[in-house]
Chains A and B, each alone.
Chain A
């Protein structure tokens, strides 16, 4: 299974190519970690479970990660990055041709579709992350603020600054809370049906830009 290290002479200078062998190993651990946590919950997932599922050695694991918490936090980051890219792409598609409301709605739709497509992953990233220690909690907090930014800019455009910016965080949190309950109950696949109600529950009002 040993992969040869990338030859040194391919790229010269300081620009090192990524070590794809390492990238692949990390991804395998990420996949195993997310699958195990999805099945048994974070509290009951041990490094041994992850090793067995990934078919990798303990030594390799500890070369890449400090501990279980570190591996989970990084797996969470990697997943969130993908989700964020999908949401961002949906949000920006069409650019200025679409109203703010349409953009926010497209972003939200992409997010809900993401969750529905992979209920196990959604459970890990929405429910289990809150049980996975301080590092994971902080990352989730950062993710919420990140999603809040999707709302913040259009909100400023639409409303000037009469609505407090705390509200963006509250909106992201409100959506998160609603998803949390549904996902915990195992209703992840029906999340996209909530789109209209979510837009209507306040998000829509905030991003309506008077000209419609």
Chain B
């Protein structure tokens, strides 16, 4: 506990969004701060420490001693807030997920059209993850190593996204199987999981066009989903970025054909020639 003073200067601690003053300790001794304020600050510091420790060494290797040393609270204080490290983890998980869900839901609700709403929600989702890599790691990877209580929460959190997608059933050209939202969500989860493992969380926002294709494909069919994707790619490569940013800097090799991206709504190409729908506009084949 000798490193109490030094705690704020760790530099390694990425501030979690629930903290106003990351890692900062309140002045010792008498101060006019209310008991609630002090407790809140201690709790935040413990959660910050947990996020940082889990990011660095993984949940199984994180000990309560680490959390105490890093947060600068006393052992007694730690146990006043949390029964064990699992409870601290669950608290950090819940806080992270509510922030993420809050942002995503807000983005979704701010659009009227379902496709626009999903695009907004997905943008918010990917942006949050890229902005908070440590929280992402905790919520996506480490949650699996904590135990049944954490798994139940993960399950509930993932389910929380289904309704956003299920709202699109009305627009679908055909009756969709019940698993659709689950499959789409599972695919997103996997993409994020893979990027976390490979240390490329920051590329997530750039995957928006491809992930929009993935989310829209079952609901709107292949052609409409491709149109949406290509529109987003075109939008992405246009903005004022001086450097010639690639249309999509994914881990996946670029499309081989040099086909020009076309806007979703435009039925003509740049030179006025009508662009025929791909493959005669066939919807999902049935047999």
Hey, which bits of chain A sit against chain B, CB under 8 A? 43, 130-134, 137-138, 141, 144-145, 159-167, 169-178, 180-181, 184, 194, 196-198, 200-202, 204-206, 208, 210, 212
Q: A159-B222, A161-B256 are in contact. Are A201 and B176 (CB under 8 A)?
A: yes
B183 touches A178 (CB 8 A): yes
Chain B contacts for A178, CB-based, 8 A: 179, 182-183, 186
- Are A164 and B209 in contact, CB atoms less than 8 angstroms apart? yes
Q: Give B193-229 as 1s and 0s: 1 = Cβ < 8 Å from A's Cβ atoms.
A: 1100110000000010111011001100110001001
Known A205-B221, A210-B279; contact A197-B177, beta-carbon cutoff 8 A: yes
- Given contacts A145-B194, A202-B218, 5 further A-B pairs with CB under 8 A are A131-B146, A134-B58, A161-B257, A162-B255, A164-B213
B264 part of interface (Cβ distance < 8 Å):
no
Query: CB distance A177 to B284 under 8 Å?
Result: no
Q: Would you give the 0/1 interface string for B142-177, flagging 1 where the beta carbon is closer than 8 Å to chain A? A: 001111000100010010000000000000000011
Q: Which residues of B contact A204 (CB under 8 A)?
A: 284
B102 at the interface (CB under 8 A from A): no
| Interchain nearest-CB distance for B220 vs A (Å) | 11
Listed residue (B185, B193, B256, B284) with the most chain A CB atoms within 10 angstroms of its CB = B193
**B256 (CB) vs chain A CBs: closest residue:** A161
* Given A164-B209, A178-B182, CB of A202 within 8 Å of CB of B217: yes
Assuming the A-B contacts A162-B226, A170-B190, A205-B218, are A210 and B58 also in contact, with contact meaning beta carbons closer than 8 angstroms in the complex?
no
Contact residues in B for A163 (Cβ distance below 8 Å):
213, 217, 222, 226
- Residue B276 at the A interface, CB < 8 A? no
Pairwise interchain contact B191-A173, C-beta atoms closer than 8 A: yes
Distance from A54 Cβ to chain B, minimum over Cβ atoms (Å): 23
A23 to B278, CA, bound (A): 54
How distant is the Cα of A169 from the Cα of B210 in the complex, in angstroms? 11
CA of A171 to CA of B191, assembled, Å: 10
Contact of B222 among A144, A194, A206 (CB under 8 A): A206
Q: Is B144 touching A131 in the complex (CB atoms < 8 A)?
A: yes
Cα separation A204 to B209 with both chains bound (whole Å): 21
Give the CA-CA distance A171 to B186 in the complex, in Å: 8
Bound state CA distance, A196 and B179, in angstroms?
A: 10
Task: Give the distance to chain A from B174, nearest Cβ to Cβ, in Å.
Answer: 9
Q: List 9 A-B contacts (CB under 8 A).
A: A164-B210, A166-B207, A169-B191, A174-B184, A178-B183, A200-B176, A202-B218, A205-B221, A212-B287
Residue of B nearest to A181 (CB): B155
- Alpha-carbon distance between A127 and B86 when the two chains are bound, in angstroms: 19
Q: Is the CB of B179 within 8 A of A144?
A: no
A182 to B256, CA, bound (A): 38
Residues on B with C-beta less than 8 A from A181 are 155, 182
Residues of chain A lying within 8 A (CB to CB) of residue B158: 177
Of all chain B residues, which has the CB nearest A205? B284
| Shortest beta-carbon distance from B193 to chain A in Å | 7
Is the C-beta of B180 less than 8 angstroms from some C-beta in chain A? yes
In angstroms, Cα B83 to Cα A44, docked, is: 20
Q: Are B197 and A141 in contact (CB under 8 A)?
A: yes
Nearest-CB residue, chain B, relative to A209? B285
Bound CA span A92–B31, Å = 74
Interface-centre pick from B146, B186, B253 (highest chain A CB count, 10 A): B186
Specify the chain B residue showing the minimal Cβ separation from A148.
B190
Interface residue B33 (Cβ < 8 Å from any Cβ of A) = no
Interface residues of B in 39-69 (CB under 8 A from A): 58, 60
Q: List chain B residues, Cβ under 8 A from A210.
A: 279, 282, 285
Nearest 7 Cβ contacts at the A-B interface: A173-B190, A177-B186, A170-B187, A130-B144, A174-B187, A174-B183, A164-B210
Which residues on the A side are within 8 Å of B193 (C-beta)? 141, 173
Known: A43-B145, A138-B197, A172-B190. A166 touches B250 (CB 8 A): yes
Docked complex Cα distance between A174 and B187 (Å): 4
- B178 within 8 Å of A by Cβ? yes
B249 to chain A, nearest CB (A): 12
B186 A175 Cβ-Cβ under 8 A: yes
**Min distance, Cβ B212 to any Cβ of chain A, angstroms:** 10
- B190 and A177 form a contact (CB under 8 A): yes
| Contact, CB under 8 Å: A197 / B209 | no
Complex Cα gap A184–B198 (Å): 25
For residue B278, which residues in chain A have a CB less than 8 angstroms away from its CB? 162
The docked-state distance in angstroms from the alpha carbon of A206 to that of B151 is: 31
CA A131 to CA B145, docked complex, whole Å: 4
